[in-house]
């Protein structure tokens, strides 16, 4: 297991260095003069040249890249051209909201995908209806699903809020930055349920499509496992179908579903940008949307690196969980 973890850590470092190189190359290719943009349109040529020297843009590309990697490794992602603050500071403000949304979306995707796989593989009563609802949801674009949810659950039924992260006038700001946890830490039960109400719609919108992909792979793996000899032996011993599934089939079938879960994380991060814009969710997706029209490349690059790092870390954790579920992978 230690050897597997070491390999995954080395692979993570290599992928992150490649991602940093890709972002650095895009920065070199962009037509925007970052020094000029940061100083403003009325800056003199002398001031622009001095700023380029200060930023190190007059040095060889390899030196610039190494300096860029060193800055990123120390958390220095540059200055935002729009907010005039360090990008790292902006991300510390916006990232907790996105992490909370992505975390609950991932949990919902795993739960719905697991239910879809179990119900359809076991041919349970009502599995066809559940599968039809999930497929309809997955066939609908996330932005259309979000608009339908707002119109139905907010405009018509008045069950859920339409936008924002909370209705509290003074929500807690610590210690984690995740409202569902911070409200409980501060003993604010009303604030906790308010945060959950605001999370339901956006989390469902980014969870349904990954849930169907996870459920399909899980079902296929379960069906194959249920045909094996040791499952027949378990049934012959008199075990109920539910006990066969829970004790023998699921652990040997979950590996493929975990792999698909890791792949779907990237899709969820892509959907976060759209969903946060529709629900006015104060996360890095909304931060990116506001930065693009202003050609704020440092902010966009910072978001890309953070999401890329999160994707790599999640997939590395998936590999470890697969090895725990099936020790043959570690061997």
pLDDT tens track, the chain, 331 positions: 677 777 777 888 888 888 888 888 887 777 777 776 666 667 777 877 787 777 777 778 888 888 888 888 888 888 887 888 888 999 988 889 998 998 899 899 889 888 888 887 777 777 777 778 777 777 888 888 888 889 989 888 888 898 888 888 888 877 888 889 999 988 889 989 999 999 999 999 888 888 888 888 888 888 888 888 888 888 888 887 778 877 778 877 887 788 788 778 877 877 788 888 889 888 888 888 888 887 788 888 888 888 888 888 887 777 777 777 666 665 4
Overall number of domains in the chain: 2
Residues 59 and 196 in one domain: no
| H-run or E-run covering 271 | helix 250-279
Residues 161 and 189 in one domain: yes
Residues 107 and 65 in one domain: no
pLDDT at 197: 92
Residues 256 and 305 in one domain: yes
Cβ pair 35, 298 in contact under 8 A:
no
Strand partners, 79: 86
d(CA 201, CA 157): 13
User: Does residue 315 sit within a domain?
Assistant: yes
Cβ pair 214, 113 in contact under 8 A:
yes
Tokens (6 digits) for 96: 């907790």
Q: Is 220 exposed, middle or buried (0-12, 13-18, 19+ CB in 10 A)?
A: middle
pTM of the model: 0.80
Residues 247 and 311 in one domain: yes
Residues 153 and 222 in one domain: yes
CA distances 195 to 165, 170, 263, 283, Å, are 7, 13, 28, 14
pLDDT at 329: 60
> Which domain CATH number covers 292?
1.10.3720.10
Cβ pair 245, 308 in contact under 8 A:
no
Residues 65 and 94 in one domain: no
User: Does residue 78 sit within a domain?
Assistant: no
Residues 122 and 174 in one domain: yes
pLDDT at 327: 66
pLDDT at 199: 92
Range of the domain at 102: 87-330
């Amino acid at each position: 297991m230690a050897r597997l973890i070491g390999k995954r850590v080395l692979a993570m470092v290599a992928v992150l260095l490649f991602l940093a190189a890709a972002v650095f190359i895009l920065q070199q290719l962009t037509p925007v003069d970052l020094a000029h943009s940061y100083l403003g349109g009325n800056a003199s040529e002398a001031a622009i040249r001095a700023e380029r020297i200060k930023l190190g843009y007059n040095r060889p590309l390899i030196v610039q890249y190494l300096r860029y990697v060193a800055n990123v490794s120390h958390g220095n992602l540059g200055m935002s051209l729009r907010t005039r603050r360090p990008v790292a500071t902006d991300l510390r403000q916006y990232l907790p909201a996105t992490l909370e949304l992505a975390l609950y979306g991932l949990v919902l995707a795993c739960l719905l995908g697991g239910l879809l796989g179990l119900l359809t593989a076991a041919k349970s009563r009502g599995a066809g209806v559940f599968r039809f609802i999930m497929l309809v949801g997955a066939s609908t674009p996330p932005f259309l699903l979000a608009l339908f949810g707002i119109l139905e659950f907010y405009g018509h039924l008045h069950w859920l809020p339409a936008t924002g992260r909370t209705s509290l006038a003074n929500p807690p700001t610590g210690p984690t930055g995740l409202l569902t946890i911070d409200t409980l830490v501060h003993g604010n039960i009303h604030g906790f349920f308010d945060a959950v109400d605001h999370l339901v719609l956006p989390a469902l919108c980014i969870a349904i499509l990954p849930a169907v992909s996870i459920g399909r792979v899980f079902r296929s793996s379960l069906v194959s496992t249920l045909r094996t000899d040791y499952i027949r032996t378990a049934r012959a011993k008199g075990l109920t179908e539910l006990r066969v599934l829970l004790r023998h089939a699921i652990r040997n079938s979950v590996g493929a579903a975990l792999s698909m879960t890791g792949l779907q994380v990237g899709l969820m991060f892509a959907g976060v940008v759209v969903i946060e814009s529709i629900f006015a969710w104060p996360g890095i997706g909304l931060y990116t949307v506001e930065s693009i029209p202003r050609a704020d490349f440092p902010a966009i690059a910072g978001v890309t690196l953070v999401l890329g790092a999160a994707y790599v870390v999640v997939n590395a954790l998936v590999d470890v969980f697969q090895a725990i579920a099936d020790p043959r992978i570690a061997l």
